[in-house]
Amino acid sequence: MRLTLGAAVVVALSAGAALAEDEINCAEPYTQYEMTYCAEKAWKAVDRDLNYTYKMALYAMEVIDNDLPPKQRGAAKALRDAQRLWIKFRDKVCEAEGFQARGGTMEPMLVYQCYERLTKQQYQALDAIAAAN
């Protein structure tokens, strides 16, 4: 298999970026790249927690549905619909916050920070639902 020069450069840069990311200290990010990387990493960690808690909250709603007569059920669907709407809401709010640095290198960091903040709030709301049952 033969790599073109351009493909070889992309492979080399990707490998270098992966190695560099392992060395980033998110407790003290220095460059804009590091700050953005750390903001994304923080959001993804909270998002993993949110996804787990959403499943637990959805299970709690399914338990409620199972205890209700068929015509009164809908707790799981209501939560599922709400979560889908919340994702759209989060994305639009964070897009708007990104406009503070539109087109600049800071824009993605602002969006990831917003994602993290709103995802923490949603996590708490879903955790309360999951814990209630």
Other C-beta atoms within 10 Å of 8: how many?
Answer: 11
Average pLDDT in the chain: 89
- pLDDT computed for residue 20 by the predictor: 60
Among candidates 46, 37, 39, which has minimal Cα distance to 19? 37
Report pTM: 0.81
Q: Is the pLDDT of residue 76 over 90?
A: yes
CA distance 105 to 57: 37
CA distance 11 to 19: 12
- pLDDT computed for residue 91 by the predictor: 98
Among candidates 24, 16, 14, 29, which has minimal Cα distance to 113? 29
Cα three-residue angle 81-54-109, rounded to 5 degrees:
95
CA distance 66 to 92: 35
